[in-house]
Amino acid sequence: MVRGKIILFLGLVCGIILPAASAANPDLPHEQQRILEQALGPRPEIRNYSKQDQFVTDLLAWKARRKTLTQKLQQGEDILPPQPRKPNDWHHVTGPEDLDTALRNAKGYQQPNYKETLRYDRTTHLSFPLPPLGKQQLADERLEPVRPPLRHPAAEGVPEPLLDETSQLQREMAAQQADLPPPSLERQRFLGYSEMR
């Protein structure tokens, strides 16, 4: 309990006495000050912690890191991490590419060489290496082409429901045409729409 009160007191003292921009060091020029702030990161704030002892631990670690980085800066060392290289990496997609860019990027492509023996989420020929088959085994396993026997369309038959429907339609048409005279070449009779009903 006493320990918790001490930690709380230290935390409050550190929070009140030190301003939020406590990374500032009057011994450093403005450019180095900016580099120090960038490398150091934000100062821990007590409102972001639920445990005060964790806040004090992080604050003391932050101060020790600030002191170390300040010393390195004063000695002329570079404290910023190196910028990532930006080679012509064909994996890095920046947007749509034209044919020339695609060809230029394809020149750097190398087939992946997987270290794991089993890769089930891949679809390349390297994912599932198979032992080579001998010529005789390939010849024995060959599938022969199979052609279905030729059938005459009329020999297959017509489905029963279709036959019933067709015969019913033929009977209805024959009944409608029964009262009309048979067509002849000598005389043509033209029917109007009202007569066809």
Residue of 11, 1, 91, 2 lying closest to 43 (CA atoms): 11
- CA-to-CA distance for 88 and 101, rounded, in angstroms? 11
Sign, CA torsion 82/83/87/92 = positive
pLDDT of residue 19: 47
Phi first, then psi: what are they for 8, rounded to 5°?
A: -60, -45
- How much is the mean pLDDT over the chain? 74
* Segment 8-30, tens digit of pLDDT: 666 665 555 554 444 456 677 88
Q: What is the number of helices (H) and of strands (E) in the chain?
A: 7, 0
Using the predicted structure, report yes or no on whether residue 182 has a pLDDT greater than 50. Answer: yes
pLDDT of residue 61: 93
Domains of the chain: which residue ranges?
A: 2-74
According to DSSP, residue 47 is labeled G
Helices of type H across the chain: 2-17, 30-40, 52-74, 99-107, 135-140, 160-177, 193-196
Is this prediction's pTM over 0.85? Answer: no
The answer to whether 44 and 62 have CB atoms below 8 angstroms apart is yes
